[in-house]
């Protein structure tokens, strides 16, 4: 049963049968797919410092965004990198996908490493985004995760997939 549908988000109440045969009601949030991109240039990468209203703070993240209807994940990665950083990339290397929170959502986030960066004049973030682009030495990312400066799950997964 659909509880809510609006924009890109649907919330459903479902009766599910668990592997042990028990039936339970569960809420499933269906936001659609998304991408996250780690732009690399030499020994550095670019993160964004973005205000997130749900947690009421700025956090470091990889550029990311939702897949528009009819769009392929690599097309979204190309578009979102430009929108959020003002850069385009010559190459997008797919690094698989993740379920960021499979306990209540079926969202998949496709991960990409972006290389061959150059400025792009089509720059323009969404009107509800408050973003600062930050250049970070790639060697510092592990320490930023360890000490809690990077707390965003998709960014942590992306760094692990791109730099391991």
Domain boundaries, the chain: 1-30, 33-163
pLDDT value of position 68: 94
What residues have CB less than 8 Å from 119, skipping those under 6 apart? 86, 87, 88
44: which 2 tokens?
A: 């550095």
pLDDT in tens, 7-44: 888 999 999 999 999 999 999 999 999 999 999 999 99
Please tell me what DSSP assigns to residue 67.
P
Taking the model in full, what pTM does it have? 0.91
The rounded distance, in Å, linking the Cα atoms of 125 and 19 is: 44
Comparing 128 with 149, the larger pLDDT belongs to 149
The rounded distance, in Å, linking the Cα atoms of 105 and 8 is: 13
pLDDT value of position 46: 98
41-44 long-range CB contacts below 8 Å, 24 or more apart?
41/115, 41/117, 41/135, 43/137, 43/138, 43/139, 44/135, 44/136, 44/137, 44/138
Query: What integer is the mean pLDDT of 99-121?
Result: 95
C-alpha closest to that of 155 among 65, 67, 62: 62
Q: Which CATH architecture has domain 33-163?
A: Alpha-Beta Complex (3.90)
């Amino acid at each position: 049963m659909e509880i809510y549908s609006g924009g890109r988000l649907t919330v459903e109440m479902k009766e599910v049968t668990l592997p042990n045969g028990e039936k339970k009601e569960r809420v499933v949030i269906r936001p659609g797919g998304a991408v996250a991109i780690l732009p690399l240039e030499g020994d550095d990468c670019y993160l964004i410092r973005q205000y997130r209203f749900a947690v009421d703070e700025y956090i470091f993240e990889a550029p990311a965004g939702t897949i528009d209807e009819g769009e392929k994940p690599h097309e979204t990665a190309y578009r979102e990198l430009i929108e959020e950083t003002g850069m385009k990339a010559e190459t997008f290397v797919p690094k698989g996908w993740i379920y960021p929170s499979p306990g209540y959502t079926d969202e998949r986030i496709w991960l990409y490493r972006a290389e061959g960066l150059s400025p792009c004049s089509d720059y323009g973030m969404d009107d509800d985004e408050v973003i600062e682009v930050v250049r970070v030495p790639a060697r510092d990312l592990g320490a930023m995760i360890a000490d809690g400066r990077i707390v965003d799950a998709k960014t942590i997964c992306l760094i692990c997939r791109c730099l391991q």
